[in-house]
């Protein structure tokens, strides 16, 4: 049998994404989808730094609508990953901009 | 000023995805894209458990082609996130299947 080694950073990250989705999706109703309430709980607990910075109170409503590609009022795992990806891209771009302005890159 | 608190699991994950991409993309040439060589290094180091399990030696070539949506021979951060998302979805589905067969869900 193969020896189990400790997971890599990427493997830990994939496991975390699944665990976080299941933790919040499991709170009410369909445990394989995030309801609107579960999405709001997720945003306020896991991404509070982002959520608190939004001055427009409608921003989370609009995010939910935009992410909910099949418009069933819930987010499945693929739709949830699009959220994480969008935030990661925004963070990555702001890092690149600040690195450029500091002439790191 | 807001007090800095320790990052949540989701925030750590977003940071990890950016850090891992930059670590591998920075190895040669364009430091904001993964070349084919950098992609192979990433797959062999970070996702060795997956990569070693593939019996077909052409699988990584085909993955790179499929992920490289704009066919420039490199993977940008968005294309890299599609890879992570695809793997996360595959893991999530295999978890759901095994949970169903064990009657956990």
Confidence of residue B94 (pLDDT cuts 50, 70, 90): confident
Instruction: Please state, for a pLDDT cut of 90, what percent of chain B lies above it.
Output: 70
B81 and A85 in contact by Cβ < 8 A?
Answer: yes
Question: What's residue A95's pLDDT?
Answer: 79
Please say if the pLDDT value at position B37 is more than 80: yes
pTM of the predicted model as reported, rounded to 2 decimal places? 0.87
CATH architecture of the region A9-101: Orthogonal Bundle (1.10)
DSSP A32: T
What SS3 state is found at B75?
strand
| Residue B91 at interface with chain A, using a CB cutoff of 8 Å | yes
CA B51 to chain A, closest CA, distance in angstroms equals: 12
Identify the pLDDT of residue B4.
Answer: 65
- What span, in angstroms and rounded, lies between the C-alpha atoms of A74 and A17? 17
pLDDT per residue as tens digits for the range A60-101: 999 999 999 999 999 999 999 999 999 999 988 887 788 777
pLDDT, tens only, B57-92: 899 999 999 999 999 999 999 999 999 999 999 988
Give the minimum alpha-carbon distance from A89 to chain B in angstroms, rounded to a whole number. Answer: 7
B88 vs A9, A45, A81: nearest CB? A81
Within an 8 Å CB–CB cutoff, is residue B30 touching chain A?
A: no
Cβ count near B85 (within 10 Å): 19
- pLDDT at res. A97: 83
Structural domain boundaries in chain A: 9-101
């Amino acid at each position: 049998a193969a020896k189990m080694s400790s997971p890599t950073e990427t493997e830990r990250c994939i496991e975390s994404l699944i665990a976080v989705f299941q933790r919040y999706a499991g709170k009410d109703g369909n445990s394989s989808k995030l309801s609107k309430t579960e999405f709001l709980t997720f945003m306020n607990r896991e991404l509070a730094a982002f959520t608190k910075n939004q001055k427009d109170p409608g921003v989370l409503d609009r995010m939910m609508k935009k992410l909910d590609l099949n418009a069933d009022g819930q987010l499945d795992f693929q739709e949830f990953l699009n959220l994480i990806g969008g935030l990661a891209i925004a963070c990555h771009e702001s890092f690149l901009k600040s690195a450029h302005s500091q002439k790191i890159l």
